[in-house]
Structure 1
């Protein structure tokens, strides 16, 4: 699905459009192009499985919420990390009413020249970070993860890092000029929790309420890009 307002197109059901009309954003036709030595998925930035309801879940399938992602990286390393973070949010990021309240920010570092269809940049690296107030420990907690956008190699994993580590890594990336700051200082200056992670926080997308699929026994799909279907619901068995 596309965002019609970016193309000045009105009255489109489900934001679908003829592939020849799209000029200001990616289209499905771009993802149909074959890349040598790399199978590409439509990789979600805000995960479908994090959505609190069906309407929000559906909204994650716009092509402005995805980037070209190496298929095995998307389905193995990145998926495993998303599931791990999702589980943490359901236990460590509950407000006084028992509802999930967290800030999650995900970004993609553009490659220098690697593109789909000569127009859609294939990121060289993806990163994500979250921050929330742990009402039990009465402190801000945070975590950051990142990985190269390449085909999966056995043993690849995305270990947890502090926000300070993330800021340093992003500041060292040539595409990012100057210092990088994802979250407000009140999170970054938070007290460390018992895992040694720094409490560091953020003004990202605020999501409250239960995440979809919580407590389900759904097996993960292996398709990677089916429209309007959560590709990789976390296996919680």
Structure 2
């Protein structure tokens, strides 16, 4: 009996050591420049802070809106590698349902098959793959894109619905794609480290029977460092119903987001150059 009790205590400690949905980003500050997340103007009601955990590692950080069932933003380091894009098998986050649950993101069908959660329990806290089925003009748009990740595991970890929003299909496949893969590559030349925060402004419409919010805008900000010092910064923003991306200064992006969110937005706590 004593042995069983000790095993239960040990298991509890291991669970805590792998906690993923957290009160702060203290478990994964490495994805924010100077370890500082954006300010509170972006915080929704009842937010979830997720240190995105897959295959025993953290890969990026996400602030998630449980009510609208979309991420507010994902933060990561821009480190594109040579691995091929993995298959599009989308996962969900068990710890949004129960913080003492599995530490890694999982497939919804696997959680159901193993009698860990019911479909209704999963749907309560987040989007599921079925929410995106049959959409004609919208894609599951990554905030942290797989092509910005170095390893196969990190690329796979981007395929969780806590990192996706309903994004205009033409925008996702054309102008935003060009920004992610051409503009980012060009702008990051000469940078030793580039920190990125990509987000979505909540919109007034929903998909899947009013379950998942369709953002009004998609935006991204980058902070480029050389030899640990800020070298340059930039931003991008797009309306989520037009195939157009504006590349702007970080200062201009923060002004636009301040207007859209109705509160002052500072993405890098004034710690990165705004030139």
Both proteins in one fold, TM over 0.5: yes
Change (3 A) 1:161 1:15: same
Aligned to 2:153: 55
| Corresponding residue to 2:263 among 172, 178, 183 | 178
Once the two structures are superposed, the pairs formed by residues 71-150 of structure 1 within 5 Å of their partners are 71-88=169-186, 90-94=188-192, 101-135=193-227, 139-150=230-241
Between the aligned partners of 1:184 and 1:30, the Cα distance in structure 2 is 35
The CA RMSD over aligned residues, in Å, is 2.4
Q: Give the conservation status (yes or no) of the 8 Å contact 2:94–2:105.
A: no
Change (3 A) 1:51 1:17: same
Between the aligned partners of 1:139 and 1:178, the Cα distance in structure 2 is 26
Q: Give the conservation status (yes or no) of the 8 Å contact 2:92–2:106.
A: yes
1:41-90: per-residue Cα shift (whole Å, max 9, x none)? 11000010011101111100010011111111100011011012431365
Once the two structures are superposed, the pairs formed by residues 13-92 of structure 1 within 5 Å of their partners are 15-18=106-109, 19-22=119-122, 23-34=124-135, 39-88=137-186, 90-92=188-190
What is the TM-score of this pair, normalised by structure 2?
0.57
SS at match of 1:43: strand
SS at match of 1:133: strand
Aligned to 2:74: none
1:199-223: per-residue Cα shift (whole Å, max 9, x none)? 3xxxxxxxxxxxxxxxxxxxxxxxx
Unaligned 5+ runs, structure 2? 1-90, 110-118
What is the TM-score of this pair, normalised by structure 1?
0.66
Alpha-carbon deviation of 1:92? Answer: 2.5
Alignment: residue pair count: 174
